[in-house]
Amino acid sequence: MVIQSGAGKIISRKESMNERIEVLRRLQSIDTNIKRLEGDKLYRGYDVQKKQNQIQQKKQELAEIGEEIKSFQKNTGIKELDLKTKEGEIEKLRIQMNQIKTNKEYSAIKNEIGGKEADKSLLEEEILMMITKYEEMQQRQGSFKKEVEHEESQLKGLQDRVKADLEKTENEITELKKKRSEFTAKLDQDALQHYKRLVSHKDALAVVSVVNMVCQGCFMAVTAQIINQLMAGKDITFCHSCGRILYLEDSSEN
Ligand SMILES: [Zn+2]
C-alpha cells in the first residue's frame, strides 16, 4: 500500500482505517453473539435430553417392578395350589376316617389329619403374608406410575418451552448472520482473511483494544512504535505478542 502525499489523503486513509477497525469490531461482536446463541441452543437441547434420560430410567424401574409383581403372583398361585392339594388330602382322610373300624387306625388317621392341618394353616399364613406384600407392591407400582406420568407431563412442558426458545434463538441467529454478511461485504479480503484466521485460533477474540500501552488480548505491553502506527491509522496493526488486531480505545485516542 502506497501512501499518497498530501495531508488530506492521509486523513482520509486514517478515517478509512478507523472505519475498517469499526467494521471488524462489529463483526467480532456479532460473531461472539452467534457463538453464545449456538451454545444456548446446545444447552437447551441437553435439558430435554437429561429429562428424557431420567424418565427412561424410571420407566425401566417401573418395568422391573411389574416383573417382580408378576413373579410374585406366580409364586402366590403355586402356594394357593399347594393349599388346595392339602385341603383335598385332608378331605380324603376325613372320608377314610368315617369308614375306620379300630381305634388304632382311627388315631393314626387323626394324627395324619392333624399334621396336614398344621401344614395347611402354615400355608394360609404364608399366603396371607404374600397377599399383604402383593398389595404393597401394587401400591408402589401405582405411585411410581403416577410419578412417571408427572415427569412426562413436565417433559412435555419443557419440550414446548425449549422449542419456543430454540425458534427465537434461531431467528436471532438468522438476523445476526444477515448483519454479519453486511459487515463482511464492507471489508477487503485482506482484513477478512486476517480476521478469520485469528477467530479460528484465538477463541473468537480477534480484535482487541490497547489501553495504557497494554494489549487487552494478552496483557503484554506494546511498543511505542505500535502506538505510533495505530495513531497514524495506516495498515492493520497486530500485537507482537499474541498477533491479534489492535485498535486504540477512544479515551487514549488523539
Ligand atoms: Zn496481544
In this structure, the number of other CB atoms found within 10 A of the CB of residue 46 comes to 11
Spacing, Cα 190 to ligand 1 middle (Å): 20
pLDDT class for 205, splitting at 50, 70, 90? confident
How far is 230 from 224, CA to CA, in rounded Å?
A: 10
What pairing do the DSSP bridges indicate for beta strands 245-248 and 214-215? unpaired
Q: Which of the residue ranges 72-86, 126-140, 190-204, 240-254 would you say has the lowest mean pLDDT?
A: 240-254
CA distances from 92 to 196, 197, 221 (A): 97, 97, 107
Q: SS3 letters for the chain?
A: CCCCCCHHHHHHHHHHHHHHHHHHHHHHHHHHHHHHHHHHHHHHHHHHHHHHHHHHHHHHHHHHHHHHHHHHHHHHHHHHHHHHHHHHHHHHHHHHHHCCCCHHHHHHHHHHHHHHHHHHHHHHHHHHHHHHHHHHHHHHHHHHHHHHHHHHHHHHHHHHHHHHHHHHHHHHHHHHHHHHHHHHHHCCHHHHHHHHHHHHHCCCCCEEEEECCEECCCCCECCHHHHHHHHHCCCCCECCCCCCEEEECHHHCC
Spacing, Cα 237 to ligand 1 middle (Å): 11
Spacing, Cα 240 to ligand 1 middle (Å): 7
Report, as an integer, the average pLDDT of 81-110.
93
Residue 252 has a pLDDT of 42
Query: Do the beta carbons of residue 187 and residue 201 sit within 8 Å?
Result: no
Count Cβ neighbours within 10 Å for each residue of 161-175 and write b for 16 or more, e otherwise: ebeeeeeebeeebee
Residue 250 has a pLDDT of 63
Statement: the pTM of the whole predicted model exceeds 0.85: no
Spacing, Cα 206 to ligand 1 middle (Å): 10
Spacing, Cα 227 to ligand 1 middle (Å): 13
Spacing, Cα 246 to ligand 1 middle (Å): 8
Spacing, Cα 65 to ligand 1 middle (Å): 62
Spacing, Cα 39 to ligand 1 middle (Å): 26
pLDDT class for 5, splitting at 50, 70, 90? very low
How far is 254 from 96, CA to CA, in rounded Å?
A: 123
Spacing, Cα 24 to ligand 1 middle (Å): 16
Count Cβ neighbours within 10 Å for each residue of 3-33 and write b for 16 or more, e otherwise: eeeeeeeeeebeeebeebbebbbbbbebbeb
Residue ranges and CATH numbers for the domains of the chain are: 32-187 (1.10.287.1490)
Spacing, Cα 185 to ligand 1 middle (Å): 27
Report, as an integer, the average pLDDT of 108-137.
95
| Identity of residue 184 | T
Spacing, Cα 216 to ligand 1 middle (Å): 6
Residue 6 has pLDDT above 60, yes or no: no
Spacing, Cα 186 to ligand 1 middle (Å): 25
Spacing, Cα 188 to ligand 1 middle (Å): 23
Model pLDDT for residues 226-252, shown as the tens digit of each residue = 999 999 887 889 999 999 999 998 654
Radius of gyration of the chain (CA): 42
CA proximity to 82, closest of 90, 93, 70: 90
In this structure, the number of other CB atoms found within 10 A of the CB of residue 242 comes to 17
Higher pLDDT, 230 or 15: 230
Mean pLDDT, all residues of the chain: 89
Spacing, Cα 157 to ligand 1 middle (Å): 47
* The three cell numbers locating residue 35: 457463538
